[in-house]
């Protein structure tokens, strides 16, 4: 049976790419536009894909809204994550059906809605925001996108969560003081993402992916350093550029209406820099790794890919800073700068510095505790 438009159906009234309206059909209402008037009741009973004619004789197509349409038309309380980034985030972080996703910074709920639609029906998004004003807007947008069943919103400043205890709850599975545990993926969209990394780390499962949205390069730099400090690996920073093409017979060219810079993205995965100690039976913490090739980059000096060699941000500068700190701390504490035995190459990949416990996690202030999801 054909899918007909009814009272309360959502419909995209589509005139052209820049003139389209997302409406909820309400008998008796009318949409007044520069191309004429459209009465909602004229759409009732019509099949999605059919068209109406305005009183100025313009055709308007009745399209079923997609999540893209909801995203582009959602009410903005904050900056949002746009579809050009949404798809990449899902692909790169491997977000799929049934996953548990943690989000810090609900904002207007654009990213929340998109990801909830990907993980449903068995997965769930746990999203946190400090500002109730934005949460109200987000709730509306999430409802409109039809995914509220798969989202839990909570008013909480993630920075305030206490992660100072040294209990071995870093596995992401046993952290009852945190609102989420064992998340597959964490999404961060706050102005200072590095401040919530210790908390996010505790809520993630081992190797879980974290994605942070960073509008400026300065934020990227600071975040990359902090990711290393908090024992994340596979760190990658990206900017996505999207250009539309005007495809017309004999005069196809790129559009002059480009989408400029929206944001940078930073991706990483939770690792355990100290876990190799178990394998070799050697205490690896607080030591600076010095290779046979004379440098301290953890590789053999041949192809530069040994230890995050394809990730300059984690090796050049950033890692050195952490190592310097770790080394200084070590010398002050133990009075030694012992050299760790060089493990086999396969075990070295992805490992950078070995700070014992992230300094950032010690900084976090104690605060309220909530029940784990
Ligand atoms: C840019 S918006 C997020 C936009 C969202 N990604 C979207 O696509 O609609 C940033 C949000 O982070 C929230 N925020 C900032 N710091 C926070 C913190 N420490 N914990 C929780 N939320 C925070 C702000 O209140 C704001 O709503």
Q: Is residue 232 part of a domain?
A: yes
Q: Residue 179: phi, psi to the nearest 5?
A: -70, -20
How confident is the prediction for the chain on average, in pLDDT? 79
Give me the pLDDT at residue 255, please: 84
**167 or 313: whose pLDDT is higher?**
167
The residue out of 65, 91, 109 marking a domain boundary is 65
**CATH number of the domain enclosing 23:** 3.10.330.20
Nearest CA to ligand 1 atom 15: 190
**Kind and range of the H or E run holding 183:** strand 183-188
pLDDT band per the 50, 70, 90 thresholds, residue 28: very high
Within this chain, do residues 90 and 221 fall inside the same structural domain, yes or no?
yes
Give me the pLDDT at residue 169, please: 58
Give me the pLDDT at residue 225, please: 97
Within this chain, do residues 329 and 263 fall inside the same structural domain, yes or no?
no
Lowest mean pLDDT among 127-136, 255-264, 314-323: 314-323
In this model, does residue 48 exceed pLDDT 80?
yes
Looking at residue 349, the DSSP 8-state letter turns out to be T
Lowest mean pLDDT among 21-25, 159-163, 361-365: 361-365
Give me the pLDDT at residue 258, please: 63
Within this chain, do residues 254 and 311 fall inside the same structural domain, yes or no?
no
Q: Is residue 361 part of a domain?
A: no
Within its chain, how far is the Cα of 13 from the centroid? Answer: 31
| Rounded distance between C-alpha atoms, residue 128 and residue 104, angstroms | 5
Q: Is residue 367 part of a domain?
A: no
Lowest mean pLDDT among 164-168, 279-283, 300-304: 300-304
Within this chain, do residues 254 and 286 fall inside the same structural domain, yes or no?
no
Crossing angle of helices 83-93 and 110-119, rounded to 10°: 40
Ligand 1 atom nearest the C-alpha of 74 is 9
Give me the pLDDT at residue 170, please: 65
Domain count for the chain, please give it: 3
Give me the pLDDT at residue 93, please: 96
**261 or 371: whose pLDDT is higher?**
261
Within this chain, do residues 107 and 147 fall inside the same structural domain, yes or no?
yes
Host domain of residue 27 = 10-65
Looking at mean pLDDT, say which of 198-207, 260-269, 279-288, 356-365 comes out highest.
198-207
Q: Is residue 237 part of a domain?
A: yes
Give me the pLDDT at residue 167, please: 47
pLDDT band per the 50, 70, 90 thresholds, residue 318: very low
Nearest to 306 by CA among 292, 321, 325, 317: 292
Give me the pLDDT at residue 312, please: 38
For 64-115, write each residue's pLDDT tens digit.
999 899 988 888 888 999 999 999 999 999 999 999 999 999 999 999 999 9
DSSP result, 248-267: -TT--EE-SS-B----EEEE
| Rounded distance between C-alpha atoms, residue 213 and residue 71, angstroms | 17
Q: Tell me what the mean pLDDT of segment 352-367 comes to.
A: 41
Within this chain, do residues 86 and 215 fall inside the same structural domain, yes or no?
yes
Q: Is residue 4 part of a domain?
A: no
Q: How far is the CA of 126 from the centre of ligand 1 (A)?
A: 13
Give me the pLDDT at residue 187, please: 98
**Kind and range of the H or E run holding 278:** helix 276-280
For 164-216, write each residue's pLDDT tens digit.
765 445 665 544 479 999 999 999 999 999 999 999 999 999 999 999 999 99
Helix, strand counts (H, E) of the chain: 12, 15
- Is the pTM here over 0.85, yes or no? no
The residue out of 23, 43, 65 marking a domain boundary is 65
Within this chain, do residues 218 and 312 fall inside the same structural domain, yes or no?
no
Nearest to 189 by CA among 211, 220, 216: 211
Give me the pLDDT at residue 289, please: 42
Q: How far is the CA of 49 from the centre of ligand 1 (A)?
A: 37
In this model, does residue 121 exceed pLDDT 60?
yes
Within this chain, do residues 138 and 224 fall inside the same structural domain, yes or no?
yes
Within this chain, do residues 219 and 282 fall inside the same structural domain, yes or no?
no
Q: How far is the CA of 113 from the centre of ligand 1 (A)?
A: 14
Q: Is residue 373 part of a domain?
A: no
Nearest to 237 by CA among 202, 254, 213, 257: 213
Give me the pLDDT at residue 319, please: 38
Q: Is residue 5 part of a domain?
A: no
Q: Is residue 2 part of a domain?
A: no
**CATH number of the domain enclosing 233:** 3.40.50.150
Ligand 1, CB within 6 Å, residue ranges: 78-81, 104-105, 107-111, 128-131, 134, 157-159, 189-190, 196
Nearest CA to ligand 1 atom 20: 157
In this model, does residue 49 exceed pLDDT 50?
yes
**Kind and range of the H or E run holding 199:** helix 197-203
Residue 269, CB half-sphere, CA atoms under 13 Å: how many? 14
Q: How far is the CA of 64 from the centre of ligand 1 (A)?
A: 30
Within this chain, do residues 221 and 301 fall inside the same structural domain, yes or no?
no
For 135-155, write each residue's pLDDT tens digit.
999 999 999 999 999 999 999
Within this chain, do residues 349 and 253 fall inside the same structural domain, yes or no?
no
Beta bridge partners of 31: 38
Q: Strand 59-63 to strand 151-155: parallel, antiparallel, or no bridges (unpaired)?
A: unpaired
Nearest CA to ligand 1 atom 24: 105
281 sits in the region (left: phi over 0; alpha: psi -120 to 50; else beta) called left
In this model, does residue 23 exceed pLDDT 90?
yes
Longest dimension (CA), the chain: 85
Within this chain, do residues 223 and 299 fall inside the same structural domain, yes or no?
no
């Amino acid at each position: 049976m054909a899918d007909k438009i009814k009272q309360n159906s959502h419909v995209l009234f589509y005139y052209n790419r820049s003139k389209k309206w997302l409406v909820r059909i309400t008998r008796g209402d009318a949409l007044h536009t520069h191309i004429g008037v459209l009465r909602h009741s004229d759409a009732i009973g019509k099949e999605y894909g059919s068209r109406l004619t305005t009183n100025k004789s313009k055709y308007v197509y009745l399209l079923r809204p997609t999540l893209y349409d909801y995203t582009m038309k959602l009410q903005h309380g904050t900056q949002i994550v746009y579809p050009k980034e949404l798809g990449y985030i899902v692909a790169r972080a491997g977000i799929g059906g049934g996953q548990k996703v943690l989000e810090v910074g609900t904002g207007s709920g654009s990213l929340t809605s998109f990801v909830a639609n990907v993980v449903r029906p068995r997965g769930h998004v746990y999203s946190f925001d400090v500002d109730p004003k934005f949460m109200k807007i987000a709730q509306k947008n999430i409802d409109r996108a039809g995914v509220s069943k798969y989202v839990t919103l909570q008013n909480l400043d993630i920075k305030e969560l206490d992660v100072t205890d040294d209990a071995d709850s870093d596995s992401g599975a046993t952290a009852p003081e945190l609102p989420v545990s064992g998340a597959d993926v964490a999404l961060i969209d706050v102005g200072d993402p590095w401040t919530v990394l210790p908390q996010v780390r505790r809520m993630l499962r081992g190797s879980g992916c974290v994605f942070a949205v960073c509008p400026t390069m300065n934020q990227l730099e600071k975040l990359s350093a902090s990711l290393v400090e908090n024992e994340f690996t596979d760190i990658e920073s990206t900017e996505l550029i999207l250009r539309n093409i005007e495809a017309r017979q004999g005069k196809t060219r790129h559009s002059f209406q480009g989408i400029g810079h929206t944001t940078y993205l930073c991706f990483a995965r939770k690792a355990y820099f100290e876990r190799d100690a178990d394998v070799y039976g050697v205490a690896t913490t607080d030591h600076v790794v010095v290779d046979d090739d004379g440098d301290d980059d953890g590789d053999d000096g041949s192809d530069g890919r040994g230890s995050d060699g394809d990730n300059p941000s984690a090796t050049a500068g950033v890692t050195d800073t952490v190592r310097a700190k770790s080394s200084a701390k070590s010398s002050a504490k133990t009075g030694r700068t012992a050299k760790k035995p060089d493990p086999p190459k396969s075990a070295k990949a992805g490992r950078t510095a070995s700070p014992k416990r992230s300094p950032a996690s010690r900084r976090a202030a104690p605060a309220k505790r909530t029940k784990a999801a």
